[in-house]
Every structure is written in structure tokens, then in C-alpha cells.
């Protein structure tokens, strides 16, 4: 009997040790933090060549890995749909800005919540505003979310807190700004986690609305940047390019290309127009444009300060080392508002009040071209200025590539696969009685470890703008005719490895051997993923407007 009792206690002890070991392993799973900004161009932050002060993001880049060819879905909603689901946005019903339909997809928040993570979201949602499409229904335990796309940064009423335990912040009558509030609630959620869920890993989706229009920022931050942009867009763009070359970006490319046209936008600018040199516009317009870019820069500065607070909180929790953090923009900078902004020239008291409550301004095309230096085109388009926004991965405990840049192509659809691999979460084939589509992305872990990613084809469609990457080639088209006569919907072909700025269109030299096969492959992808639905929907809109004589571009300023 004594022997049996000793044997029993020994078995219990062994299982206790095994159980403890499993608990330790579970506790050591990395936290996941996705930080997304909205409409920031690829060259805006300091580590990419910009003059805007971004010390915290620069610190992440200096201690992490920057993917210099990280691709998005060209616009706010589609990128959010893809990064949340690991699918192309068309597959979940988001062709332009439609809400993500539940059923055939699982969100990262749901995947991680099902595997023991506590899930938090703070910021811009933009994936649907009915109860079945809001953060609580899509796997978030706590959220502070703006459901729309471009509301006033001074309006606290458009943000909704959904949390059983976290109390709302009282900002008083004049203390609210959406960027600061987005940061505040991210920090509050982390503080809650520290005191109540410290044995459990977390997932935080931190989605800043900034610097998306309307351009709104605190006056003191705006004033800081006014002298910076008094030089005008030509000189600022040139200085960014020079800094990029010093940083080693775009090796082998010495010539800064000319800026793209302003694409058509609403009836005010129903035809594309060439951008103007700074010295050729009036002094009054110059002052207006200086303010626009100063506000835009202030918004990015404000975001960076917020990221610093989040990093400080993580360090205080001793969790920064074991947090897989990815920082990215949802698309390139935005030409909406036409060449100069659609709200007229501001002078006198109206000039001084720009960026404050009650105003609505766009960055507009001239400064957006600076933000996207040296790339072609803007948000909405599948040229590099629309879809190439470098991403920083920071994960001290799991990443041994410090301060490096990696030029391998990655995509927002890859975030789901990467997160599933590093957390050990099993991507489901079914959930809540629905069949789940297989992930479209692949894990970035081989690149994070210093290896090579498998070659693959990447495809894009938004508003009948198309693109496909295969091997060293990129086939791309746009939905408007340029001022130089370059026709809309015509395929352009680039050796994107040797010609990353899309300067030398070789389509006429390789029409039969490369263009036609790649175009067929794009069509196969579009048919499989419903990308063809998005293409046809936009073509029908264009046909209607051409037929009615408006010849306008049906953007909705989102």
C-alpha cells in the first residue's frame, strides 16, 4: 500500500511538473501588437527619409526589421479587411469600402481569442457598423472604436468604448483629440492587462485614423512645422530624396523621377492635371499649402508621440521584448481634394484657424506626391505610390535582424499567417458552423530569421486599377488617361527589381511573351477571389458617368 501511495504521489508530481512546464510555455507566447496609420506616405517617417519627427518609430526600425517592399490593398477598408482576415478583401465582400461580411472568414482577434489571448482594439475600425460587424462581434474583448472613416478628430461622440471593466476617460469640453484618445485607451487596456491578465498574452490592434483627412492637429504642433514647409514641395521632395540616398535606399537609382499627375477627382477636377512648381503659384496659395503640410506633419508627429507612450507602457510591464510588433500604413498618401485641396484658399483668420475644430482640409496631391517620394501615383492606385508602404517588425525576443532592411515582397495578407505561426494558433477550416476560406498569405518568419521567402504571385485590384507581381516583373494598369496621353486600363510592364520606380515601361517589347500570360494569370486570380467583381463594379460606374457626360471620378473622399 505504501509503495502504491508513493507511486501515486510520484505520478501526481510528474504531471504537476509537466503541467507547470506547459503553463510556462503558454505564458511565454508572444504578445501581438499591430500599429496601423492611415494615408501616410512611404517617405514620411524619419527612417524612410522624411523630415517629420518620428523618433519612436525610428527607434523601432533601428532595433527591428524593415520590409521595404511591403504591400497593402491601396485603400483604408480593403487593407483593414485583408490584414484582419489573411484574405484578399474581395473574398470578404470589401471591393471598395463595403463592410466585411462574416461567415467565410476569421479575424486575427477571433483566432487569437480562441487560443487564449486577451484581445484589445483602439482606433479606426471601418469594417462595418452593424452589431454583427463591430469589434465585440469580431473577437475583441475590449475596444474603443470609430466605426467610420473620416470624422472630426475633435468629436468624442463618434468613438465607442466597449469594455466590461475599463472606465471611460473624461476629456472635458475641449480636451479631446482622436489621436490622443486612441493612444490613451491603448495604454489603459495595457494597464488593465498588467493588473488583471498578466499571466495571459495579449493582442492589441492600434489603428490610428491619422493622418487621414480632415487635417486636424493641436496648434502648437502645427506651428512647429510651418517653417519646415515654407521652402515648398519641390525643395522638400528633393531633400527627402537626398536623405534616402544617404540611407542606402534605392541603390542603383540615381534620378528622382517627376511627380505623377493629379488624377481626376469629383467634378472640381474631372480631368487629370499636371502638378505645378512651387514658385509658379501665388503667395496666398503658398501660405495655404504650407499650413496643410504643417498640419499633416503634426498629425504624424502626434501619432509618434502616442506610440512612444505605448512603448513606455510595454517596457513598464516588461513585455516589450516579447511583443511581436508590426508598424505600417494602410496605403500611400492621398491625392483626394485635387491639386490643392477642395476647400479653397485660406487667408487671414481662416488661415490661422486651419486644422482646428470646424474645419476640413485635405493634404491634396502636391504634398501627397512628396509623401510618396519617389514613387508613382497615390492611394487608390496599384502603382508603387499607392500600395508600397514599408513595414517595421520589432520583436527583440524572436528577431535577430536588428536595424536591417529586407527587400523581399510581403503583403498585408501575410500578417495572419505570420501571427498564426509564432503564436501556435491553428487557423480553422470551420468556425461557428461556417466553412472558413484558406489563408491567402504566407508566413514572413523565414525572412524574419534571415532566410528567403518562397517565390509567389501577388495580385491587386481596386477601382479597376490592376496589378500582378511575378518573378521580377510587375504588370500594372490605372483607370485614367494621363496628361501625357498614357491611356487608361492599358497594361504597363516593369522589371520591378531593376526598376523599382516604374520608369521604363517595357510592355511593347514583351507583349506576347510576358504581358499576355501575366494578364491571363491576373484574370484567373480575379475570377477565383472575386477581384473581377470589384473591377466590373467600377467599370460600370465609369461607363455611367461617361454616358451621362459628367466624366467624373466617383471617389467619395474616403
Calpha distance 287→229 (Å, rounded): 10
- 504 vs 482, more confident: 504
Q: Contact at 8 Å (CB) between 416 and 86?
A: yes
| Residue 236, pLDDT above cutoff 90 | yes
Residue 203's nearest CA partner among 162, 128, 142, 145 is 142
Calpha distance 463→541 (Å, rounded): 10
458-547: same fold as 21-448? no
Q: Contact at 8 Å (CB) between 299 and 210?
A: yes
141: DSSP letter: S
Calpha distance 434→284 (Å, rounded): 59
- 216 vs 532, more confident: 216
Summarised one tens digit per residue, pLDDT across range 114-153 is 999 999 999 999 999 999 999 999 999 999 999 998 999 9
Pairing of strands 458-462, 473-477: unpaired
Residue 392's nearest CA partner among 14, 79, 64 is 64
| Residue 6, pLDDT above cutoff 80 | no
- The DSSP string of 85-121 is HSS-GGGGT-SSSPPPPSSS---HHHHHHHTT-EEEE
Helix (H) or strand (E) holding 205: strand 202-207
Pairing of strands 142-146, 159-162: antiparallel
| pLDDT confidence band for 13 (50 / 70 / 90) | very low
Lookup: cell for 211? 493622418
Quote the pLDDT of residue 15.
39
Beta-carbon contacts of 535 under 8 Å, excluding residues fewer than 6 positions away, are: 461, 464, 466, 526
Sheet with 465-470, strands from edge to edge, namely 458-462, 465-470, 473-477, 492-495
E strand spans, 387-522: 391-394, 404-411, 430-431, 434-435, 458-462, 465-470, 473-477, 492-495
Sheet with 323-329, strands from edge to edge, namely 159-162, 142-146, 118-124, 202-207, 31-37, 323-329, 391-394, 65-71, 404-411
Calpha distance 388→42 (Å, rounded): 7
φ, ψ dihedrals at 553, nearest 5°? -110, 115
| pLDDT confidence band for 481 (50 / 70 / 90) | confident
| pLDDT confidence band for 287 (50 / 70 / 90) | very high
- Apex CA 119: angle with CA 116 and CA 122, to 5°? 170
Fold of 458-547: Arylsulfatase, C-terminal domain (3.30.1120)
Pairing of strands 458-462, 434-435: unpaired
Quote the pLDDT of residue 50.
99
Helices (H), 213-282: 219-229, 233-247
Quote the pLDDT of residue 14.
38
| Residue 187, pLDDT above cutoff 60 | yes
Pairing of strands 473-477, 465-470: antiparallel
- Apex CA 515: angle with CA 511 and CA 520, to 5°? 130
Q: Contact at 8 Å (CB) between 264 and 553?
A: yes
Residue 475's nearest CA partner among 360, 382, 370, 396 is 382
Beta-carbon contacts of 465 under 8 Å, excluding residues fewer than 6 positions away, are: 74, 380, 381, 382, 386, 476, 477, 478, 479
Q: Contact at 8 Å (CB) between 346 and 291?
A: yes
Q: Contact at 8 Å (CB) between 224 and 301?
A: yes
Quote the pLDDT of residue 521.
98
Question: Three-state SS for 378?
Answer: coil
Quote the pLDDT of residue 400.
86
Helices (H), 254-383: 283-316, 348-352, 365-371
Mean pLDDT of the chain: 92
Summarised one tens digit per residue, pLDDT across range 304-326 is 999 999 999 999 999 999 999 99
Calpha distance 67→86 (Å, rounded): 18
What are the Cα distances from residue 345, in Å, to 4, 23, 341?
Answer: 90, 62, 8
Q: Contact at 8 Å (CB) between 337 and 362?
A: yes
Residue 324's nearest CA partner among 41, 112, 75 is 112
Calpha distance 256→374 (Å, rounded): 6
Angle, nearest 10°, between helix axes 76-85 and 414-423? 30
Quote the pLDDT of residue 267.
58
Q: Contact at 8 Å (CB) between 333 and 343?
A: no
- The DSSP string of 473-485 is EEEEE-SS--TT-
CATH class of the region 21-448: alpha beta
| Residue 55, pLDDT above cutoff 50 | yes
**pLDDT average, residue stretch 500-519:** 97
Where do the structural domains in the chain lie, given as residue ranges? 21-448, 458-547
**pLDDT average, residue stretch 83-111:** 97
| pLDDT confidence band for 265 (50 / 70 / 90) | confident
Summarised one tens digit per residue, pLDDT across range 433-465 is 999 999 999 999 999 999 999 999 999 999 999
- 259 vs 17, more confident: 259
Question: Three-state SS for 515?
Answer: helix
pTM of the shown model: 0.93
Quote the pLDDT of residue 269.
62
| Residue 372, pLDDT above cutoff 80 | yes
For cell 510581403, name the residue: 410
Question: Three-state SS for 71?
Answer: strand
| Percent with pLDDT over 90 in the chain | 85
| pLDDT confidence band for 547 (50 / 70 / 90) | low
Helix (H) or strand (E) holding 195: helix 178-196
Quote the pLDDT of residue 432.
93
| Percent with pLDDT over 70 in the chain | 91
**pLDDT average, residue stretch 455-484:** 94
Amino acid at each position: 500500500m505504501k509503495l502504491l501511495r508513493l507511486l501515486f504521489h510520484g505520478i501526481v508530481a510528474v504531471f504537476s511538473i509537466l503541467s507547470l512546464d506547459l503553463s510556462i510555455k503558454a505564458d511565454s507566447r508572444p504578445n501581438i501588437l499591430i500599429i496601423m496609420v492611415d494615408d501616410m506616405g512611404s517617405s514620411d517617417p524619419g527612417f524612410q527619409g522624411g523630415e517629420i519627427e518620428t523618433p519612436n518609430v525610428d527607434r523601432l526600425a533601428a532595433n527591428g526589421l524593415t520590409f521595404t517592399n511591403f504591400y497593402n490593398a491601396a485603400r483604408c477598408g480593403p487593407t483593414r479587411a485583408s490584414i484582419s482576415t489573411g484574405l484578399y478583401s474581395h473574398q470578404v465582400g470589401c471591393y471598395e469600402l463595403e463592410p466585411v461580411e462574416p461567415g467565410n472568414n476569421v479575424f486575427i482577434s477571433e483566432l487569437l481569442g480562441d487560443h487564449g489571448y486577451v484581445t484589445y482594439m483602439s482606433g479606426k475600425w471601418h469594417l462595418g457598423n452593424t452589431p454583427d460587424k463591430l469589434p465585440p462581434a469580431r473577437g475583441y474583448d475590449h475596444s474603443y472604436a470609430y466605426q467610420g472613416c473620416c470624422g472630426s478628430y475633435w468629436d468624442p461622440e463618434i468613438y465607442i468604448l466597449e469594455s466590461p471593466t475599463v472606465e471611460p476617460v473624461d476629456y472635458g469640453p475641449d480636451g479631446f483629440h482622436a489621436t490622443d484618445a486612441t493612444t490613451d485607451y491603448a495604454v489603459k487596456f495595457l494597464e488593465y492587462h498588467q493588473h488583471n491578465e498578466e499571466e495571459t498574452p495579449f493582442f492589441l490592434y492600434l489603428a490610428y485614423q491619422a493622418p487621414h483627412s480632415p487635417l486636424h492637429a493641436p496648434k502648437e504642433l502645427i506651428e512647429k512645422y510651418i517653417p519646415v514647409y515654407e521652402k515648398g514641395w519641390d525643395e522638400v521632395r528633393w531633400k527627402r530624396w537626398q536623405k534616402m540616398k544617404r540611407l542606402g535606399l534605392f541603390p542603383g537609382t540615381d534620378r528622382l523621377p517627376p511627380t505623377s499627375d493629379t488624377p481626376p477627382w469629383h467634378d472640381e477636377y474631372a480631368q487629370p492635371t499636371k502638378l505645378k512648381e512651387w514658385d509658379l503659384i501665388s503667395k496666398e496659395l503658398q501660405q495655404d499649402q504650407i499650413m496643410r503640410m504643417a498640419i499633416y506633419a503634426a498629425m504624424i508627429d502626434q501619432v509618434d508621440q502616442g506610440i512612444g507612450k505605448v512603448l513606455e507602457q510595454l517596457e513598464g510591464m516588461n513585455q516589450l521584448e516579447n511583443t511581436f510588433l508590426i508598424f505600417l500604413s494602410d496605403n500611400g498618401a492621398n491625392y483626394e481634394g485635387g491639386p490643392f485641396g477642395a476647400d479653397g484658399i485660406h487667408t487671414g483668420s481662416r488661415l490661422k484657424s486651419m486644422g482646428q475644430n470646424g474645419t476640413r482640409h485635405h493634404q491634396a496631391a502636391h504634398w501627397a506626391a512628396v509623401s510618396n517620394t519617389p514613387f508613382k501615383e497615390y492611394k487608390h492606385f496599384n502603382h508603387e505610390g499607392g500600395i508600397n508602404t514599408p513595414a517595421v517588425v520589432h520583436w527583440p525576443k524572436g528577431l535577430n535582424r536588428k536595424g536591417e532592411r529586407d527587400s523581399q515582397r510581403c503583403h498585408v495578407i501575410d500578417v495572419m499567417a505570420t501571427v498564426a505561426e509564432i503564436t501556435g494558433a491553428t487557423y480553422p477550416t470551420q468556425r461557428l458552423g461556417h466553412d472558413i476560406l484558406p489563408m491567402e498569405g504566407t508566413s514572413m518568419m523565414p525572412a524574419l530569421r534571415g532566410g528567403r521567402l518562397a517565390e509567389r504571385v501577388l495580385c491587386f485590384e481596386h477601382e479597376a486599377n490592376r496589378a500582378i507581381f511575378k518573378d521580377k516583373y510587375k504588370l500594372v494598369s490605372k483607370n485614367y488617361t494621363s496628361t501625357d496621353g498614357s491611356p487608361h486600363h492599358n497594361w504597363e510592364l516593369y522589371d520591378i527589381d531593376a526598376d523599382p520606380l516604374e520608369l521604363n515601361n517595357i510592355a511593347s517589347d514583351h507583349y506576347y511573351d510576358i504581358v499576355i500570360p501575366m494578364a491571363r494569370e491576373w484574370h484567373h486570380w480575379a475570377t477565383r477571389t472575386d477581384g473581377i467583381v470589384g473591377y466590373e463594379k467600377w467599370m460600370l460606374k465609369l461607363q455611367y458617368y461617361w454616358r451621362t457626360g459628367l466624366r467624373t471620378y466617383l471617389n467619395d473622399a474616403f
